[in-house]
Structure 1
Amino acid sequence: MAAATETATSEKLLATILKSLSDDKAEDVVQIDLRGKTEIGDYMVICSGRSTRQVSSISEKLAQTVKDEFGRTAKIEGKETGDWVLIDTGDVIVHVFRPEVREFYQLEKMWQPMDGPGAAAS
């Protein structure tokens, strides 16, 4: 397993995560490049599941995939309620929301570039 961990780059990890989310029918998947913006990770991925059951299932399967392919144990918070689950894989932080909860918190807006779409004109 150590060899798998050594060869895991944040880009490979991100690609595996995006494939897992796609396979499990996650909706509205958004990836945000955090490199140079924060030390919490290289990428953030935000997506939605249609129900608490799907949110929990997406999260469980994703954590297992990361463990199987990279030998990393992801930290998971919020799986019990299934409204908003955080999966911390080290280099990639994944948020899986129910749509209503995602709309309420609008996490994507916090990480949008200030000069990107939606930025206020000065």
Structure 2
Amino acid sequence: MPSPAGISGFDASSRALNTVLASLEDSKAENIVPIDIQGKSSLGDHMVIASGRSHRHVAAVADHLLKALKDAGFGAARVEGLASADWVLIDSGDVIVHVFRPEVRDFYNLEKMWLAPDLEEETLH
């Protein structure tokens, strides 16, 4: 499947990540944490976790991001959770974005799961 504008997969993935990070910064999302999941998951190349201050802010951050991805040529991303705006998941293919209210983010603590030490590299005796 060709990448947008004939860009290689790596470049398209980096461009998508840059679009996501710029949009989140512009929307005043908080605690933005990009995580490289290449080689760890077939879900995508990058995961980004961010917080909004309230239901309304989470929804506004997600709406702004969806528009930014579409305007940048990445098409319509898949989205879940926008109606309740506690935890919105946006899947653009190469980049998966989670936007949480702070309490929900603390409860699920996705960063701990994805940023934990790689146990495959340790030798168990």
After TM superposition, where is structure 1 displaced by more than 3 Å over at least 4 residues in a row? 2-6
8 A contact 1:5–1:71 mirrored in 2 = no
Q: 1:36 aligns with which of 36, 39, 52?
A: 39
Q: 2:53 aligns with which of 50, 53, 69?
A: 50
More moved, 2-11 vs 44-53: 2-11
Kindly report which structure 2 residues correspond to 1:69-108, keeping only aligned pairs within 5 A, or say none.
69-108=72-111
Q: Distance in 2 between matches of 1:71 and 1:90?
A: 9
Seq. identity, %: 52
Q: How far did residue 3 of structure 1 move?
A: 7.6
Kindly provide the CA deviation profile for residues 57-82 of structure 1, in whole angstroms up to 9, marking residues without a partner as x: 11011011101112411001000001
Q: Which residue is equivalent to 2:121?
A: none
Count of residue correspondences: 116
Structure 2 regions of 5+ residues with no counterpart?
119-125
Q: Which residue is equivalent to 1:6?
A: 6
TM-score, with length taken from structure 1: 0.88
Q: Distance in 1 between matches of 2:6 and 2:55?
A: 34
8 A contact 2:90–2:97 mirrored in 1 = yes
Q: Distance in 2 between matches of 1:12 and 1:37?
A: 20
TM-score, with length taken from structure 2: 0.86
Q: Distance in 2 between matches of 1:94 and 1:3?
A: 20
Q: Distance in 2 between matches of 1:66 and 1:92?
A: 10
